[in-house]
Amino acid sequence: NAGVTQTPKFQVLKTGQSMTLQCAQDMNHNSMYWYRQDPGMGLRLIYYSASEGTTDKGEVPNGYNVSRLNKREFSLRLESAAPSQTSVYFCASRTSQRGTDTQYFGPGTRLTVL
């Protein structure tokens, strides 16, 4: 099992450009999450998907959109990138089975917006 995979690993954008961050998991998990990590602020939830076909806003959703394409894939889109979106983005997944309450994280995408 590859676990949670994310592409790309690194990306540099100019202000106003758009891009989609891809995330896939092969653990048959129901829930998937997108976080951003900024120094001194821990991880903040952008969006999450409790199950296939549903998405909900997290703590910092402004400037982002998501798509739960199927059970495996959950993408994050920046329509018009801003320097404030420079961050490290992590995708995570979690099963809803009782007793296995653990989120598994991908390796992250380092995004710089100039």
Partner 1 sequence: AQSVTQLGSHVSVSEGALVLLRCNYSSSVPPYLFWYVQYPNQGLQLLLKYTSAATLVKGINGFEAEFKKSETSFHLTKPSAHMSDAAEYFCAVRLSNDYKLSFGAGTTVTVRA
Which residues of this chain interact with partner 1, rule CB under 8 A?
4, 31, 33, 35, 40-45, 48, 50, 58, 90, 92, 94, 99, 101-108
Q: Which is nearer to partner 1, 35 or 81 (CB)?
A: 35
Task: Could you list the beta-strand ranges (E) of 1-114.
Answer: 4-7, 10-13, 19-25, 31-37, 43-49, 56-57, 64-68, 74-78, 87-94, 103-105, 109-113
Q: Minimal distance in Å, beta carbon 15 to partner 1?
A: 26
Q: Which is nearer to partner 1, 17 or 107 (CB)?
A: 107
